[in-house]
Structure 1
């Protein structure tokens, strides 16, 4: 009796009764997860690009600062 109740309960759910429907649901869930993953990877890529730009900007500014500091210090070299 117990297995009959279990089997009936299982097949009351159409997704369990129809294997193709279950596979389609699994595929749909996987597709949603993949879309979210791709979005987060693209967002992370944009953040990395922004960090690279800022790093290059800081590098340029430090070179300008170094050059200006060197010129400023040359006028004070008396020895």
Structure 2
């Protein structure tokens, strides 16, 4: 053990509201890059994974199971 203070950051799983907004913005950007038919307004209107799946079915004509799988690959559990 040393007398030096630890430089390790505490493990905080909760993000600040600013971080959450930045992460959501990044997620929407990734969705827009993958599926370019979405307008900026449509991306902003996405509230959750179910919205994305419904939009993929409507906009791209994907089967719901394929849209669910594709959305899960991009979203990876991140919040909107």
Shorter-chain TM range is: under 0.3
Q: What TM-score, normalized by structure 1, do the two folds share?
A: 0.26
Considering Cα pairs closer than 8 Å and 6+ residues apart, tell me whether 1 or 2 has the greater RCO.
2
Q: What TM-score, normalized by structure 2, do the two folds share?
A: 0.25
